[in-house]
Structure 1
Amino acid sequence: MKLAILGGSFNPVHKGHLFLAKQAADEYGYERVLFIPAREPPHKTLASGASDTDRLEMLKRALNEYGDNRFFIDDCELKRSGPSYTIDTVYDLEARYAGALEGKIGLIIGSDLAADFGKWKNADLLAEKADIVLGCRPLRDDEKLPEGGFSVAEAGVPDKPHRAGEHSGAGGTFPRPHLQLHNEFCAVSSAAIRRMTAEKKDWKALVPASVYEYIVQRKLYGFK
């Protein structure tokens, strides 16, 4: 079985996460993609507004609504104490899927994380043990929206999706061996959705309908 993982805070999960996972599975033939919500992201503070239970529930609803039978949730990092290090997750999955894996585990990351990959725990070892699948992501979670925000139509499911080109971080092209994902993307981040929610802007098109309903019902991220 060809296995890939997509980790993140999923705070909240949005359509960009789903598109990235689908295109990685389509392009490189992954039979299973595990969405792994982080308990304590090592390189950023987890934003408030949703509990671990909320984030997990939104992810469950999103994957159920999306209906791709290659997508699964693995909550191993939520169960693990301390920071959520990807290398520890890869070791864990190798042990649990021993004998069933075909090749290396695929590690799907966006180009927004490429510049800081060298700061990850055992980054060189991680790049050896996993096949890094580098997809294009237009925003980092700590980036701000342009003045006036952006078009929900363009950020949701654009009529003419952007096509990924070269994937580079602050220092240029990603310096480690990787599989380049020629993905289409929507210009959205979890941080942008949280801000738009608090600012009473229209963000409904950026997340699956079931996730939108959950955020509204639970009044997450300052929703009023």
Structure 2
Amino acid sequence: MFEGGIKLKIGILGGTFDPPHLGHLIMANEVLCSLELDEIWFMPNQDPPHKEKARNVSNENRLAMLNLAIAGHPNFKIETIEFERAGRSYTYDSMILLKEKYPTAKFYFIIGGDMVEYLPKWHRIEELVDIVQFVGVNRPSYRVQTPYAIQSVEIPSISISSSLIRKRMKDGKTIRYLVPDSVRKYMEENQLYES
């Protein structure tokens, strides 16, 4: 992947992916194409610092759904570095490890408008902005404004969230066209998020 000293441009999309949905995939694909990146790495987190509630399903289930969601896209990969560490999943710590592992890569960390507004509260943000290029994408009800240097990418406005999907599953409502069909089938077969 990194042979011959070629400097690849890698987008990192972190999240709980509990479950992954079409909004995640659209965001990743739009940034991939807009910034002409080589790959997007989906990085599921272990214990996100900005969320108090525990995950709703196991790491194994989240990973299985993510694999199904990105199947067929040649430029989408999964990076499990945060599964390999105990404790809070701080982006700074993960990116230091990735920079050591892939010194020739240039990393673009993709965040939605909600996280752009939250950036001043990120762990070691002043150092983090020196090692990654943040990419902010528009999200309904949020402005992509911050004192930090971020690249902005406009994407189609999609108001889908993992919490919406979990609620619909719990209430027995349809999630068709909100998640890839393979993910929907996996959720149904494994009775995930049902009441």
Q: TM-score, normalized by length of structure 1?
A: 0.80
Aligned residue for 2:10?
3
Name the CA distance, whole Å, in 2 between partners of 1:201 and 1:175: 41
Q: Is the 8 A contact 1:5 1:107 kept in 2?
A: yes
Shift, 1:138, TM fit: 2.6
Shift, 1:45, TM fit: 2.7
Shift, 1:137, TM fit: 2.3
Aligned residue for 2:166?
194
Aligned residue for 1:27?
34
Among residues 133, 136, 139, which one is paired with 1:137 in the alignment?
139
Q: Is the 8 A contact 1:9 1:46 kept in 2?
A: no
Aligned residue for 2:23?
16
Flag structure 2 segments of 5+ consecutive residues without an equivalent. Answer: 1-7
Name the CA distance, whole Å, in 1 between partners of 2:12 and 2:135: 10
Name the CA distance, whole Å, in 2 between partners of 1:59 and 1:185: 22
Counterparts of 1:72-83 in structure 2, within 5 Å, are: 72-83=77-88
Q: Is the 8 A contact 1:20 1:185 kept in 2?
A: no
Q: Is the 8 A contact 1:138 1:188 kept in 2?
A: no
Aligned residue for 1:127?
129
3-state SS in 2 of match to 1:5: strand
Q: Is the 8 A contact 2:13 2:111 kept in 1?
A: yes
Counterparts of 1:89-108 in structure 2, within 5 Å, are: 89-98=94-103, 100-101=104-105, 104-108=106-110
Flag structure 1 segments of 5+ consecutive residues without an equivalent. Answer: 140-166
In the comparison of the two structures, how many residue pairs are matched?
Answer: 188
Shift, 1:20, TM fit: 0.5
Name the CA distance, whole Å, in 1 between partners of 2:194 and 2:56: 7
Q: Which runs of 4+ in 1 moved over 4 A?
A: none
Relative to structure 1, the CA distance from residue 135 to residue 128 in structure 2 (aligned partners, 3 Å threshold; closer, same or farther) is same
Shift, 1:52, TM fit: 0.7
Shift, 1:184, TM fit: 1.3
3-state SS in 1 of match to 2:173: coil
- Percentage of identical aligned residues: 33
Q: Is the 8 A contact 2:11 2:37 kept in 1?
A: yes
Aligned residue for 2:184?
212
Q: TM-score, normalized by length of structure 2?
A: 0.91
Cα-to-partner distance string for 1:173-202 (whole Å, 9 max, x where unaligned): 222101010111321000111111111222
1:203 and 2:175 are equivalent in the alignment: yes
3-state SS in 2 of match to 1:6: strand
Shift, 1:46, TM fit: 4.3
